[in-house]
Chains A and B, each alone.
Chain A
């Protein structure tokens, strides 16, 4: 006999927990749901767009009644639970319906706060909380003219905007002088007010309501300063209070909400609570993302897995008023111990303020241009020390250089038919529609359903903005707790640490030791694990070909038609007539349809059939060439300029340094591709300052630059330091590569890695601590002993992985 689970509260938080539970333990419980409203579960945060006429109720249903039936869940809709008999574990509804439980989940949400002024109970006075309220407002807007919204917070402004769009004359009354004072400072609040006034809203600021006037229906509102205005509809939107009436009445410990621990358990171990009704570590939450986080943790415990903990959330806020772009997170007011950086451009309607403490972001508020909100939020969550890039902080991360979305940086100003994702041709309207009709809540949801930002990722910031402005807020899991993929709850850092500390030398070993949830991982975690074990234990770990992406398994680049391209190595970009003849002969012999010179100064041969690869490599090997690793998460190329031999400006033997760098680093596997360059003078013809590791020769020595890349977001390198000898160039390069190999997450290039850990960290290990630098370089050399074996030669003449290049059988 199955245990019985009863959910009180058929809303977003409670039903999310049920969905999560069905996902991980579908057969564990008989589930019964009580909901006071006569509907299935709808997306409450999209009530504003319904009021504004941009959506319909049908658009925002998350679970319709059929869903409950399909999943074998008994739904008591329109039944309010009046009592819980904790001793006998029974739930009793107002109509007498009784259900027994083994586990009970409370998700009773919150109630709007109604100011108890005279007349607050008159017909025509409503709150803004559920479908009834929206219906009442829509109804009223058809018959009446004057609306007063009491409360200039998030909800009040969304209600006011909606009513205005329905044709009403709307006055917003606010107790203090700043709109949304919990999310805005005085300056941004003022800009918001001005913008809303231009749209036609009226404001009474610093105004306190004394009474609502009327006899059998509201007629007006009177304020403490004596002013009276006419009103046919009054919307109270002054805040919400956790709905803990039921919990309190049955003796569960409540303070400002139902008090729960990190497993979402109340003081009665049989009873869990999540959502807006709970108080966790002193905080209550009203945004959807933290509630979903709680739902996930709660489901884990209901499923008796018992490993998840909810540790609180940091949230950011967006106003869901079309065309208004504002963002705030954290403590954006500051105090004596904080500093602030402010940027204000009244002409463009842009304001940004960042509050810092000890160089770490405490909070931010932005108006007009919020594209970097997600970045500041991330830095705040991570507690990143910003001193290394403080001067660039205000300019933002997503500044010049991003390609692929037509230069758009502010989603709010984009029309529905404008393209957001240039790779997959997804327009803003497609994304908004998918979020609302398919009930999407996270970036990953949007990616998998629309493909937006799923390829190169350059439009991720825009997609996040669209998501946040459609759902009214944003939330991201801190990276230290962000799982590698769906196969595990462990983060990249957890896994890397365990591999090192617990001496795990195989993918299977890691999966067993860290309790992988899938039998053999997925296409995302297996390549990462393969790299991690090899990079950590180069002498012991065995490479797993089946966990490598095809390019690294076939040692060539797969092309869209299934053929491959081949790039032989040319050390430092130098070549010889013998090599060129050999390449030309291969092209003739194998009828290679196209050859071109790559950005990294190599020659690429396109359109080679897979079965021809070993023979092509054999011919190239004969001429002394080896794999160029143009296909790998590995050292790619070292680019060089003309050099001192010929160039009248050249200093140092830059070409020689480039060749030696490539000789010492070729074959090394990396978290992502790794490119180097050496320029002979500061004119920098080899473009060393947009490489992962770049050397710029000067008369007195060598400048070492790190963390640059071209591509989607061009990032110029940071200067690591200056050294005097070639030997130092090599030692520093090995140490830098090894630190990157040991610390970065798989598929994280040096640029985001450095932005994540900070340049100071790199300097500390590679520059300042000579002993550590030497130790890193020695570990790199050790690893290279096992890596510098030409994979082409092994396959061309030693019969390695023969099965990879021959068909199993030919039929017909």
Chain B
């Protein structure tokens, strides 16, 4: 797995917020937690494809704006009792810059 793509800096994303990286295969939501951890998920809720990047980020989770499903930012699993998983993408930070790999881990 390689092909890291620089997508911006941590400061480009609001704390407890998200930005979208658009790709030929659809959008990826890039999320920033209160501790400046960065996670990338396919921007689709497993439930009805709601854009997760538009949800409220809390802890290491995001709440989908359409029907309030909660998704783990780390790995993309849906929080019980709902079920499902959304694809997540590897991210690394170097000198405040965010690098994204388009090879989904799940």
**Which residues of A are in contact with B by a Cβ distance under 8 Å?**
448-449, 455, 518-523, 526-527, 545-547, 549-550, 554, 558, 560, 562, 803, 807-812
Contacts and interface: CB of A to CB of B under 8 A. Distances in A.
Interface of B: 5, 7-8, 12-17, 19-24, 27, 30, 34, 48-51, 54-59, 63, 65-68, 70, 81-82, 102
A455 B68 CA distance: 10
Given A803-B12, A808-B8, A518 B59 contact: yes
B30 A808 contact: yes
Pairs of residues from A and B, 4 with the lowest C-beta to C-beta distance, nearest first: A523-B63, A808-B19, A812-B24, A523-B56
20 contacts: A520-B16, A520-B59, A522-B56, A523-B58, A527-B56, A546-B14, A546-B16, A546-B17, A547-B16, A549-B56, A550-B55, A558-B51, A558-B65, A562-B51, A808-B19, A810-B21, A810-B22, A811-B7, A811-B21, A812-B23
Contacts of A521: 58
A449 B102 CA distance: 34
- Give the residue among A522, A549, A811, A812 with the most B Cβ atoms within 10 A: A811
Contact of A547 (B5, B56, B65): B56
- Give the residue among A455, A554, A560, A808 with the most B Cβ atoms within 10 A: A808
- Give the residue among A523, A545, A547, A803 with the most B Cβ atoms within 10 A: A523
B65 A550 contact: yes
Contact of A520 (B12, B34, B48): B34
B68 to A, nearest CB: 7
A637 B23 CA distance: 39
Given A523-B55, A809-B7, A560 B48 contact: yes
A475 B34 CA distance: 38
Contact of A808 (B13, B65, B70): B13
B66 A558 contact: yes
Contact of B21 (A518, A560, A808): A808
A527 B58 CA distance: 12
Contacts of A808: 7-8, 12-13, 19-21, 30
Contacts of B15: 546
Contacts of B63: 522-523
A556 B30 CA distance: 22
Given A449-B81, A545-B14, A522 B21 contact: no
Contacts of A527: 56
Given A520-B16, A558-B66, A562-B50, A809 B55 contact: no
Contact of B57 (A518, A546, A554, A807): A546
B29 to A, nearest CB: 10
B22 A811 contact: yes
A558 B15 CA distance: 22
Nearest to A455: B67
- Give the residue among B5, B13, B59, B102 with the most A Cβ atoms within 10 A: B59
A703 to B, nearest CB: 39
Contacts of B67: 455
A646 to B, nearest CB: 43
A20 B5 CA distance: 45
